[in-house]
Amino acid sequence: MPGIFNHQFATDLYKGAVAVNTGLFINGQFVDPVDSETIDVFNPADGSVITKVSAASAKDVDIAVKAAKAAFKTSWGLKVPGSERGKLLNKLADLLEKNADTFGAIEALDAGKSFVHAKHLDVTDAVGNLRYYAGWADKNHGKTIETTEAKFAYTRHEPIGVVGMIVPWNFPLMIAVWKIAPALATGNTIVLKPSEVTPLSALKLAELVKEVGFPDGVFNVVTGHGAVAGQAITDHPLVGKVSFTGSTIVGRKVMETAAKTNLKRVTLELGGKSPTLIFDDANLEQTVKWVCGTIFHHSGQMCAAGSRIFVQEGIYDKFLQLFAGAAASIKQGDGFKATTHQGPVVSKTQLDRVLGYIESGKQEGARVVAGGSRGEGSGYFVKPTIFADVKPDMKIVREEIFGPVGVVIKFKTEEEAIEAANDTDYGLASFVFTENLSRAIRVSNAVEAGNCFVNQAALLCPQVPFGGYKQSGHGKEMGEYALENYTQVKAVHINLGLKL
């Protein structure tokens, strides 16, 4: 994005110009954890330790949940009109926008993102979602329902109460705000657990929430390990709803725990192995650029990554040639450098996982067309990797890799492509490239996925819902549909004259 990258300012932020309080944020204050334990936070670009953050225990989560419950009863929920909640959300959006450089730098440093992408995609998306739900805060109302002249019946959309939010490491700020904005707009209070790998933007956001003037206890942040703090949130009897984004394996555990405790409501946005279907009539030059975005953006660490790339036989060889060339031209490096297109994967654990999948592909006989190895430098870099000559039962075709690794598969007919695309346990996203409008609609309707992007990458809008089919979860983020996640409907029947 030429002309919008202020390298010197970004470098200054990188060198420590941004201060982040690393305590737990509970009841409007940053506090130390009960057990005084900490977690190291690493810079994935070079493997160095950025800082330490507090590690919440179940005792800390209990304190946070009780603070959120008290705030819901006394200073939030239905006691604050939706119009006032909307004003606060708009103020938070303005303040976040004002601090876009700060949050872009935090995400670049903490998550290994490009500063440009973090600021102009992630932060902009978060600001847009806050403003969108600020507008909904006083409009999510019930209905009057005609029955008989002897009864007046109506419904109310009421907040659930305390909502636990467990957020992944790949888009720490953006996905957190997808959940925070509708939850606050509808009057709920929040206990947010960011990933222990990328916790810094959530803590910085807590500072803005305090500055804006949300009542104490409405928004709480508990940093900690998923098996401890995340489990404690899911276990807690005062939490009425959990919104989780992460792996399918952990999503099952969240749902199981919720069922075993207080039957708290759960929404899940889980993994994916999204198909990309490219037909002979696609604009090849544009398609290659978009496909690079679907699989190589943020080093492929996206649940919606278009990692299974089906190409019709008439353009297969040409596409593979152009795609390999584009992958080889991607510049990797520190996200604060203006020349960087792709940063590292987020951690040593993720690096080993992705390299393990690449080795599996080689051993099972897939052909490496581009990449296929670790990148240069001391950080957790993986070269953009493309496999061809794959078979449907290979691990790299069946399992979510969560790295910059795509597999390219040739097909003949539209029917064949659709059948292969749907041959997966997942159903989060899909991508269709064709200049034929009828085909675009036909194929997007036939693919078993919660989202279909035609002639583009996964460019999202606050107004449009996002969520999956099958083992990619249930419930929607964003759009009007997300309001259902954070409200419960009460029916009221008033007797206007019926006598016994």
Dihedral of CA atoms 200, 206, 207, 211 in degrees, nearest 10, equals 160
* Cβ–Cβ < 8 Å for 26, 209: no
Q: How far apart are alpha carbons 169 and 199 in whole angstroms? A: 8
Nearest CA to 85 out of 128, 135, 129, 125 is that of 135
269 is catalytic: yes
Q: How far apart are alpha carbons 345 and 356 in whole angstroms? A: 14
Q: DSSP letters of 189-213?
A: EEEEE--SSS-HHHHHHHHHHHHHT
**Residue 500 buriedness (CB in 10 A; 0-12 / 13-18 / 19+):** exposed
**Residue 459 buriedness (CB in 10 A; 0-12 / 13-18 / 19+):** exposed
- Residue given tokens 């110009």 in the structure block: 17
* Cβ–Cβ < 8 Å for 27, 162: no
SS3 356: helix
* Cβ–Cβ < 8 Å for 458, 432: no
* Cβ–Cβ < 8 Å for 65, 162: yes
393 secondary structure, DSSP code = T
Q: Cβ neighbours of residue 62 under 8 Å, at least 6 residues apart?
A: 232, 236
3-state helix, strand, coil in the chain (%, to 5): 40, 20, 35
359 secondary structure, DSSP code = H
Q: How far apart are alpha carbons 148 and 174 in whole angstroms? A: 47
- Angstrom distances, CA of residue 133 to CA of 89, 129, 193, 480, 486: 8, 6, 21, 9, 12
* C-alpha dihedral sign at 208, 209, 214, 220: negative
414, two tokens: 């539209």
Question: Catalytic residue among 149, 196, 256, 269, which?
Answer: 269
Nearest CA to 26 out of 67, 58, 59, 56 is that of 67
Q: How far apart are alpha carbons 416 and 421 in whole angstroms? A: 9
Q: How far is CA 161 from the centre of its chain?
A: 23
End-to-end CA distance of the chain: 73
Q: Give the catalytic positions in this structure.
A: 269
